[in-house]
Amino acid sequence: MSEAVTIETIADAMFELVTQCNGKKSLKAGDLTKAMQAKFGEAVCSKDDCKKAIRSLIDSARCTYSYVGGSYIVLPPKEGAAGAP
């Protein structure tokens, strides 16, 4: 049996995926859930765990929701000039 994956680990992996896809592909919550279950395995990464990880990303402002013809999870818009932290 595989070891359980923490919500924080799932959230970090989701953030990494959203960052990689930024500007190339829009990801829905279901896309992130499927990707995390493929990465970690459904036995240790449930849909509920993924929902909690997404909530963590939104609550911490690491990601935001974008509503353009559907609900997508994206990086928050950058403040000020390009390249600013």
Calpha distance 16→78 (Å, rounded): 17
Model pLDDT, residue 40: 96
Q: How confident is the model at residue 81 (pLDDT cuts 50, 70, 90)?
A: very low
Full-model pTM: 0.87
Model pLDDT, residue 68: 84
**How many helices and strands, by DSSP H and E, does the chain display?**
3, 2
Q: Which domains does the chain have, with CATH numbers?
A: 7-74 (1.10.10)
Q: At residue 17, what are phi and psi to the nearest 5 degrees?
A: -65, -45
- Chain-centroid distance of CA 50 in Å reads 8
Model pLDDT, residue 80: 57
pLDDT in tens, 24-70: 999 999 999 999 999 999 999 999 999 999 999 999 999 999 998 88
Calpha distance 82→59 (Å, rounded): 24
